[in-house]
């Protein structure tokens, strides 16, 4: 994999492709134009094969030629994109850099009880401990949460499931208790409980616990 470093998206992209394979190239600040000028015009965004041929025919084969051409003359060749291409030719690229997002990650806590449970207070305590452990794991990874899910399974293999988009530990604990209460009311005992949350990235919200 090749890497390029520059002050903007255009320069870093060209630097990374110019030195393939498995190379590293850094363009120091203030040297953007001198780095680009000797290169063929095809390295500029918006210059496809047909446009490149047209520029070559007009004597603008290299990026430095485009940089030195009056804007009005460039407009005859490039139309509305002339101004943008001329900026590119001088190493100016105002497009924002958008960091690549990390993939979603799922965190979970699960407890299978050795015997059927009907002790309400004990199960509540277990669920709340699971919630605390889960949120602690998410915080340690510096992530944020979008979706929280609670699953409870009974002795009849019935499953109670609740999912909600939220980021609050307090709300998720309420979901745990509600799922547990519904399981006891309908089926009389609980065999296992699982909590999960999905986190999409360290800088953006998202996730499943």
On whether both 198 and 143 belong to a single domain, the answer is yes
Tally of domains within the chain: 2
Residues 118 and 42 in one domain: no
| Tens digit of each residue's pLDDT (9 = 90 or more) over 4-49 | 888 899 999 898 888 776 678 889 999 999 999 999 999 999 999 9
List b or e across 104-133, with b for residues whose CB sees 16 or more CB atoms inside 10 angstroms: ebebbbeeeeeeebeeeeebeebbeebbee
Query: Where a domain ends, among 89, 117, 140?
Result: 89
CA atoms 178, 179, 180, 183: torsion sign: positive
pLDDT of residue 48: 92
- Of 89, 123, 138, the residue at which a domain comes to its end is 89
Do 82 and 124 belong together in one domain?
no
Provide the phi-psi class of 74: left if phi over 0, else alpha when psi is between -120 and 50, else beta. Answer: alpha
11 and 71 in a single domain? The answer is yes
Q: Which pLDDT tens digit goes with each residue over 37-86?
A: 999 999 999 999 999 999 999 999 999 999 999 999 999 999 999 999 99
pTM of the predicted protein model: 0.50
Whether 118 maps to a domain, the answer reads yes
Same domain? For 79 and 158 the reply is no
Range of the domain at 160: 105-208
């Amino acid at each position: 994999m090749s890497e390029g470093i520059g002050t903007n998206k255009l320069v870093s992209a060209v630097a990374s492709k110019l030195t393939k394979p498995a190379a590293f190239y850094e363009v120091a600040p203030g040297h953007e134009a001198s780095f680009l000028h000797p290169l063929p015009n095809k390295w500029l965004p918006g210059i496809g094969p047909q446009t490149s041929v047209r520029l070559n025919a007009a004597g603008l084969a290299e990026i430095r030629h485009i940089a030195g051409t009056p804007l009005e003359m460039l407009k005859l060749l490039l139309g509305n994109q002339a101004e943008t291409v001329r900026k590119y030719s001088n190493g100016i690229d105002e497009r924002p850099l958008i960091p690549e997002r990390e993939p979603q990650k799922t965190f979970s806590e699960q407890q299978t009880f050795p015997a059927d449970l009907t002790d309400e207070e004990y199960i509540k305590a277990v669920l709340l401990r699971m919630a605390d452990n889960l949120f602690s794991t998410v915080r340690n990874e510096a992530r944020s949460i979008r979706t929280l899910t609670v699953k409870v399974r009974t002795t009849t293999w019935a499953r109670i499931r609740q999912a909600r988009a939220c980021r609050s530990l307090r709300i998720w604990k309420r979901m745990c208790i509600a799922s547990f209460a519904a399981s006891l009311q309908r089926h009389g005992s609980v065999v296992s409980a699982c909590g999960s949350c999905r986190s999409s990235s360290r800088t953006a919200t998202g996730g499943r616990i």
